[in-house]
Amino acid sequence: MDMTTLPFDIATLNALYRRHRLRPEDVIDAAFARMERDRSYGAWISWFDAEGLAPYLERLRALSPELAPLYGVPFAVKDNIDVAGLATTAGCPAYAYRPEQSAAVVERLVEQGAIPIGKTNLDQFATGLNGTRSPYGVCRNALHPDYIAGGSSSGSAVALARGHVGFALGTDTAGSGRVPAAFQGLVGHKPTRGVLSAHGVVPACRSLDTVSIFARTAADAETILRAAAFPDVRDPYSRLLNPRGVDFATADPLRVAVPRAADREFYGDQEAAALYAAYVERLRGLGAVVSEIDWAPFRETAALLYESAFVAERLEAAGGLLRTRPEALLAPLRDILGGALQYTAADLFESLHALRALRGRAREIWDRADVLVVPTAPTIFTIAQMQADPVAANTKLGFYTNFVNLLDLAATAIPAGVRDNGIPFGVTLVAPAHQDGPLLHLAARLMGTPRSDTPLASDRVEVAVVAAHLRGQPLNGRLTSRGARYVATTVTAPRYRLYVLPGPVLRAGLVPAVDGAPIEIEIWEMDHAALGALTREIGAPLAMGRVLLDERDVVGFVCCDPGPAARDITAYGGFRQYLRASTKSP
């Protein structure tokens, strides 16, 4: 197998792991070889060495690719998101700290088997859409290094596009998870705000920030979102993903809104204008009903992000340095934060009232459209052009992105063509909050790739428990504390023997056997992330495998080698029956 070109997408890695044709160690070695090859692109700030990665690889011994959807998939983390063992810099060495605990979203992904490789470059304090505002160096476009990568999640997008990882995390406040995706030809999903916990994320604008996902396919993005989404009480803006209505990705006809031709802005980039017009015609060719809308509410909303009191929220993380060590901040950020100091509380309320009115005007489009389709960015600049006019050029990049978080919308950036110089052009699919599933399904449909078969609303799996995890038993809290729900009591197929295992907690395991019998078990339902965490707690000789019932199989506790100290209690028919008989014994 050629590890220099092997794609690291989830489906490819999972298939190879299941067939035992690949080891996570092989993937990690290949990832670091690719990173070394691409040092000139400036994607990375820090990364784990072999000792730092050892615990993540060891954790995989308690998982399997059949049960952990992200088993052995390497991923990159934008360096404003905490990863235990690596410094968090937010693109500013003077701000750096070393967290003891990873961000909630990183922990969830690790529980599902993913391996964090390291921290990626970004526009300082996640303020910028270009990827050149970093003391760790300019981040270069993965396909044409003379051009910008887009920001602020520049390093994450480049690391994925160059094949270093299987997916990457960014953040998105004004478009930082979408613009880099467009410039690298990736899927960039900006989830419904709050669905991915921001606990352990350095804030840019806390009330608007969203952890974002970079992936090669919409199906991968959906798998990652399912694995990481959960309501987190540690994040005051956290909320449960609440899918609404019919999946518009299957609508016939699909209703698409686009800006009126007179309102479209490409800043003289005729190639981008032509690619967008061609994409709109492609949507019509696919049977979509396309309607042009008044762009004014979206343009006015976008202006609020940097031209009103909302910009003052950016002082939360970097304001202390602005006051005490302004030289630690790059010039564009100093200017932005300096301007934020002028606003008063009265100005903030005025901005909030203006936003509320704009939300009402913008909401009207959803009465006649399922999805809004816009260019992800109106144009692209070379690095030299960006550095010659950093503020004005950066502002232009946000024309089609700045409004999304302010209006509480979800968005998915996808490839939509290629420029003559080889740099991708992209569009963004935008819909109301909680429409993440339909957006990703439509993205898969438009990209011609299969979508995930599991809807976001059904991220649950049935688990068979045998002994100490049964209701009323000492380890049952490991289920209930993770939101597991009791479903039923049933029996296995007659293919198992049941052994009590020695230890401080009385446990038992199912052992496959030709002379087996039906064994009573309980079926519980829990989400995949919780199952991953539970699996990590299982001690040998127990493991998670497939437990056969009469007409189907479920995930459950199995034991391949109980050992000489184990006791065969198959004759009792189940663990509870054994306990009752033991209690009655003299």
Q: Tell me the mean pLDDT in the region 405-433.
A: 97
Percent of the chain clearing pLDDT 70 (strictly above): 96
CA atoms within 13 A on the CB side of 68: 27
**78 flagged as catalytic:** yes
Confidence of residue 257 (pLDDT cuts 50, 70, 90): very high
Active-site pick, 152, 212, 238, 351 = 152
Question: 458-584: which CATH number, 3.10.50.40, 1.10.510.10, 3.10.290.10, 3.10.490.10?
Answer: 3.10.490.10
Sequence-ordered list of residues with C-beta below 8 angstroms from that of 10, at least 6 positions apart, any chain: 69, 70, 73, 166, 167, 219, 220, 223
Domain residue spans in the chain?
A: 10-445, 458-584
With a pLDDT cut of 90, the percent of the chain lying above it is 76
- Spot the catalytic one: 64, 156, 176, 351: 176
Q: Residue 252's pLDDT band (boundaries 50, 70, 90)?
A: confident
Average pLDDT of the residues in 42-60: 96
Query: In this predicted structure, what is the pLDDT of residue 449?
Result: 61
pLDDT higher than threshold 80 for residue 551: no
pLDDT value of position 349? 95
The pLDDT of residue 5 is: 86
For the question of residue 152 being annotated catalytic, the response is yes
CB burial string 87-118: b at 16+ within 10 A, e below? bbbbbbeebeeeeeebbbbbbbbbbbbbbbbb
**Of 258, 229, 253, 217, nearest in space to 452 by CA:** 217
Q: Is the pLDDT of residue 503 over 90?
A: no
Q: Is 151 helix (H, G, I), strand (E, B) or coil?
A: coil
> Is the predicted pLDDT of residue 234 greater than 50, yes or no?
yes
Longest dimension (CA), the chain: 91
Preceding amide of 152 cis, omega within 30: yes
Which of 210, 216, 166 minimizes the C-alpha distance to 190?
210
Do 76 and 118 touch, CB atoms closer than 8 A?
yes
Q: What is the mean pLDDT of the chain?
A: 92
Per-residue pLDDT at 540: 75
Instruction: Report, as an integer, the average pLDDT of 130-156.
Output: 98
Region 124-135: mean pLDDT is 97
What local confidence, expressed as pLDDT, does residue 450 receive? 53
Residue 255: how many CB atoms within 10 A of its CB?
A: 17
What is the rounded average pLDDT of the residues 132-159?
98
Per-residue confidence (pLDDT) for residue 512, from 0 to 100: 87
| pLDDT tens digits along 86-125 | 999 999 999 999 999 999 999 999 999 999 999 999 999 9
- The 10 Å Cβ neighbour count of residue 62 is 19
Residue 244 is predicted with a pLDDT of 67
> For the segment 271-306, what is each residue's pLDDT rounded down to a tens digit?
999 999 999 999 999 999 999 999 999 999 999 999
- pLDDT for res 455: 41
Fold for 10-445, please state it: Amidase signature (AS) enzymes (3.90.1300)
Write down the catalytic residue from 46, 78, 102, 238. 78
Confidence of residue 541 (pLDDT cuts 50, 70, 90): confident
452 pLDDT higher than 50: no
**Is residue 294 exposed (0-12), middle (13-18) or buried (19+ Cβ within 10 Å)?**
middle
The pairs formed by 1-9 with CB atoms below 8 angstroms and a separation of 24 or more are 3/27, 3/29, 3/30, 3/33, 4/30, 4/33, 4/34, 6/30, 7/163, 7/216, 8/73, 8/74, 8/163, 8/165, 8/166, 9/166, 9/215, 9/216, 9/217, 9/220
Q: Which of 138-152, 200-214, 333-347, 443-457 comes out lowest in average pLDDT?
A: 443-457
**DSSP code of residue 538:** P
pLDDT in tens, 335-390: 999 999 999 999 999 999 999 999 999 999 999 999 999 999 999 999 999 999 99
